[in-house]
Each structure stands twice: as structure tokens, then as C-alpha cells.
């Protein structure tokens, strides 16, 4: 018994530390102070602990939001390695998780979180105009998707954003055939995503696939087409909207988690080119709210089975202690069950959705703005302004993150 009561208190201290270390950085993120959030998380991101992966993920995303793309990718590289390392658990840690809590084990991330690591790393390289390095991350994306297919996972079917970024990278590297394939895959997974329809129409014509171009023209007859000149380039706004759903103890059983959507005012964004009669509203390419909740729902059978096994294990240990000391046995049983709370760790800074708006402009420099919109299409008071250069037959990017 001397072994397990200290474990109980260590768990409580660790849980409090995790929650505390993320609450203040989150406030900075909501206030638009991503650099401060990253600074507060950096030490925990690089310090070995059972929570290191989740700190590394949030640190890397904060650094990206702050525009520190190189440091962000260092963090994502670490997270990528940790996610693989943490798939291994020692027998001692597994036993501890049964006696106390899942929080005693290394956090290894959900499968959709692991897939998003190379997606965000690719985005970092894209924002640095390093398209060769971005292609390496695209390869990682497809390798992980293929591995998930072989393992029978279904999460990959809900990750159109990975394919869309992949398509953009292929196009930036001049491989239009591969770009076209991934645009088609994006449309298959996210048929309501408007921008990919434009991409399919544009590339099918450019590649001389006349039959497919005619099919898409008929299928997308309701699209509002924009004139694309010979020397035009693309300006892409990537809008990360709101906050991913939060984990709380399940109301029906406190030993397992439940995800709850976080309500925010901004649900969409509008890209406006100043001095031009051009504006475009974003549409969703990835709904992380739905993805996270559906993923957790699929895990409930396994989570419940493991916690039931944990209860049985606790009962055996408590009975062994009770045989020596009645009072201490009762205390052991109470302590282990009080500590057996839901594991609430998660990649906290993820958005609720990823949305995209794309406009085509003649080569040149432009002043543009991005506004978060309410459901009623009313802009919130947080307009972001940018100066961008659009190059002929190239793609320029704007990254916009809103928590409100």
C-alpha cells in the first residue's frame, strides 16, 4: 500500500500542473498574444514528462500562430517523434493506469491528432515558401494515411484538409497531375467545400481533360466564377476558426471523458481585397468538432472495458491490503477510486474548423483584410490587415487564427 498512496497524490499534483500550465497560455491565445503563449509553454514542451506530447503540440501551434514557423516546426518534429515513442508503454505504467488513472501513462495522442502533426508542419513550410520541405511532410501525410488504412482505421476518411494541403503543395511544385488527384480526393471527402470545386474546374481544363471539365462544369453550374487571367496568381486565406471541443468527465461515468463543443461568435471569415471589388467568404474543409467527437465515440467501448478492468484490479489490491489492515484496505479502495478520473488531456489549441477562401488576382502587391463573421454575416471587431504579393501562376497564403 505504501506504493500506491504516493502514486495517488502524484497523480493529483500532475493533473493540477497540466491544467494550470495550459490555462494562462490559452488566455494569451484568446487575446491574440500567441508569442506569449508559446513562451510560457516552451519549457514544458521540451521537458520529458508524461504530458510532454500535449505541451509540444500546443507550443508548436502557438508558435505557428505567432508567425515563428521555424520554431514551430522544431516543436512539431519533436511531437512527431514523441507520438511514435509513446505508443510503447512499460508494464509498470500500464499497471499504474489500472490502479490509479490513465493520466499516469504517457499521452500519445488520438489518431487524428497524429495525422494533423505533418499537416501543420507542411503548412509551416508553405507559409515560409519552402515547398520542397513541404513535399516531405506531404509524403508523411500519405504514409500515415496508408498505415491507418492497413490497420482498419476510419479516421483518414474524415481528413480532407490533409489532401487539400497536399494538392496545393503538388501544384506549387509543378506536379499538376498529382495535385489534380488530391483535389479530387478532397472533393470526395468534403463535397460542400467550395474552393476545391474551382480547383477541379481550373485544373481539368489546364490538363486538357475535356470530358472531366465538361462534367465538372455541369455539376458545379451554380458556382460564381471569377475571371482568371493568363498572368494571374492565387491568394489563399487559411482560416482556423474557434476552439476544438473540450474534454470533461462524462456525466454518466466520471472515469471516461466526453467532448463538448465550445461556442464562439465567429463562425466564418471574409477575405477582402482593398481597392478592388473582390471579397470571398470561407468554406469549411475540415470540421475538427465532428472529427474529434466521432473519434472519441468510437473509442468508448475500449475505454469502458479498460476502466472496468481497472475497477477489478483495484478491488483485488484493496482486498489484499484489507486482509492485513481493515481500515487501510478501506482507505486504499477509496483513494484509488477517487483518483480514477477521466483523462482530460488533449491538443487544446486546435480550432473547431479549418476553412479556406481563394481569390485570383493579376500579379502585383495588394492590401487585403480578413474579418471573422457571425452567423448573420456580421464582421466582428477584429479585422486583420495584410500586405501580400501575388505572383503569376503561383500561390500566396494568409494564415488567420481566431478564438472568438
Q: CATH code at 193?
A: 1.25.40.10
The pLDDT, as a whole number, for residue 309 is 62
Q: Which residues pair with 287 in a beta bridge?
A: 353
pLDDT tens-digit series, residues 149-200: 766 655 555 689 989 998 999 998 899 999 999 999 999 999 999 999 999 9
pLDDT tens-digit series, residues 95-108: 444 445 565 677 88
Instruction: Dig out the grid coordinates for 243 from the structure.
Output: 476552439
Longest CA span, the chain: 86
DSSP-derived secondary structure letter, 378? P
CA distances from 103 to 8, 22, 211 (A): 11, 16, 55
Q: Are strands 232-241 and 395-402 parallel, antiparallel or unpaired?
A: parallel
Residue-wise pLDDT tens for the chain (404 aa)?
A: 444 445 444 444 445 556 677 889 999 999 999 999 999 999 999 999 989 999 999 999 999 999 999 999 999 999 999 987 655 444 344 444 444 556 567 788 888 898 899 999 999 999 998 988 988 888 888 887 777 776 665 555 568 998 999 899 999 889 999 999 999 999 999 999 999 999 999 999 999 999 999 999 999 988 877 777 778 899 999 999 999 999 888 888 777 788 999 999 999 999 999 988 899 999 999 999 998 888 888 876 666 566 566 656 655 665 566 677 776 656 654 555 555 567 888 999 999 999 999 999 999 999 999 999 999 999 987 789 999 999 998 999 999 999 88
pLDDT tens-digit series, residues 29-65: 999 999 999 999 999 999 999 899 999 999 999 999 9
Q: At what angle do helices 326-339 and 4-30 cross, to 10 degrees?
A: 20
Task: Specify the DSSP element, H or E, that contains 203.
Answer: helix 194-206
User: How much is the pTM?
Assistant: 0.85
User: To the nearest 10°, the Cα dihedral for 171, 177, 180, 182?
Assistant: -80
The pLDDT, as a whole number, for residue 104 is 63
CA distance 314 to 311: 5
pLDDT tens-digit series, residues 239-256: 999 999 998 888 887 777
The pLDDT, as a whole number, for residue 99 is 46
Residue 396 is part of which domain span? Answer: 4-402
The pLDDT, as a whole number, for residue 96 is 46
Q: Which DSSP string do the residues of 316-350 spell out, in sequence order?
A: HHHHHHHHH-HHHHHHHHHHHHHH--------TT-
CA distances from 105 to 45, 100, 108, 109, 154 (A): 17, 10, 9, 11, 25
Lateral strand order in the sheet of 278-281: 278-281, 268-273, 364-373, 384-390
The total domain count for the chain is 1
Nearest to 306 by CA among 60, 44, 105, 5: 105
The pLDDT, as a whole number, for residue 146 is 78
> Residue 279 CA to chain centroid, in angstroms?
27
Amino acid at each position: 500500500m505504501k506504493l500506491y498512496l504516493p502514486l495517488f497524490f502524484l497523480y493529483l499534483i500532475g493533473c493540477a500542473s497540466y491544467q494550470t500550465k495550459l490555462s494562462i497560455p490559452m488566455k494569451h491565445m484568446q487575446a491574440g498574444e500567441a508569442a506569449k503563449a508559446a513562451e510560457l509553454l516552451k519549457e514544458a514542451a521540451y521537458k520529458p514528462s508524461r504530458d510532454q506530447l500535449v505541451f509540444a503540440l500546443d507550443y508548436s501551434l502557438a508558435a505557428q500562430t505567432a508567425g515563428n514557423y521555424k520554431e514551430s516546426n522544431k516543436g512539431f518534429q519533436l511531437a512527431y517523434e514523441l507520438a511514435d515513442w509513446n505508443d510503447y508503454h512499460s508494464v509498470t505504467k500500464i499497471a499504474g493506469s489500472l490502479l490509479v488513472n490513465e493520466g499516469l501513462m504517457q499521452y500519445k495522442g488520438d489518431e487524428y491528432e497524429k495525422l494533423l502533426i505533418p499537416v501543420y508542419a507542411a503548412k509551416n513550410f508553405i507559409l515560409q515558401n519552402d515547398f520542397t520541405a513541404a513535399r516531405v511532410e506531404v509524403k508523411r501525410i500519405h504514409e500515415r494515411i496508408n498505415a491507418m488504412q492497413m490497420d482498419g482505421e476510419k479516421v483518414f476518411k474524415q481528413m480532407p484538409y490533409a489532401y487539400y494541403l497536399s494538392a496545393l503543395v503538388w501544384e506549387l511544385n509543378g506536379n499538376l497531375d498529382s495535385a489534380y488527384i488530391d483535389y479530387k480526393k478532397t472533393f470526395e471527402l468534403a463535397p460542400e467545400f467550395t474552393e476545391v470545386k474551382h480547383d477541379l474546374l481550373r485544373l481539368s481544363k489546364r490538363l486538357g481533360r475535356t470530358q472531366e471539365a465538361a462534367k465538372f462544369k455541369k455539376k458545379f453550374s451554380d458556382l460564381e466564377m471569377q475571371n482568371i487571367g493568363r498572368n494571374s496568381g492565387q491568394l489563399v486565406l487559411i482560416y482556423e476558426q474557434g476552439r476544438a471541443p473540450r474534454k470533461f468527465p462524462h456525466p454518466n461515468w466520471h472515469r471516461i471523458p466526453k467532448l463538448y463543443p465550445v461556442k464562439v461568435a465567429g463562425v466564418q471569415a471574409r477575405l477582402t481585397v482593398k481597392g478592388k471589388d473582390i471579397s470571398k467568404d470561407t468554406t469549411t474543409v475540415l470540421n475538427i468538432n465532428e472529427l474529434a467527437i466521432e473519434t472519441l465515440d468510437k473509442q468508448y467501448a475500449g475505454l469502458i472495458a479498460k476502466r472496468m478492468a481497472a475497477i477489478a484490479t483495484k478491488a483485488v489490491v484493496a482486498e489484499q491490503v484489507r486482509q492485513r489492515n481493515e481500515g487501510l484496505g478501506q482507505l486504499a479502495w477509496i483513494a484509488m477510486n477517487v483518483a480514477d478520473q477521466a483523462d482530460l488531456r488533449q491538443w487544446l489549441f486546435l480550432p473547431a474548423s479549418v476553412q479556406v477562401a481563394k481569390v485570383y488576382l493579376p500579379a502585383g502587391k495588394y492590401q487585403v483584410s480578413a474579418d471573422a463573421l457571425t452567423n448573420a454575416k456580421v464582421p466582428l471587431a477584429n479585422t486583420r490587415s495584410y500586405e501580400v504579393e501575388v505572383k503569376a501562376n503561383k500561390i500566396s497564403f494568409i494564415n488567420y487564427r481566431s478564438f472568438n
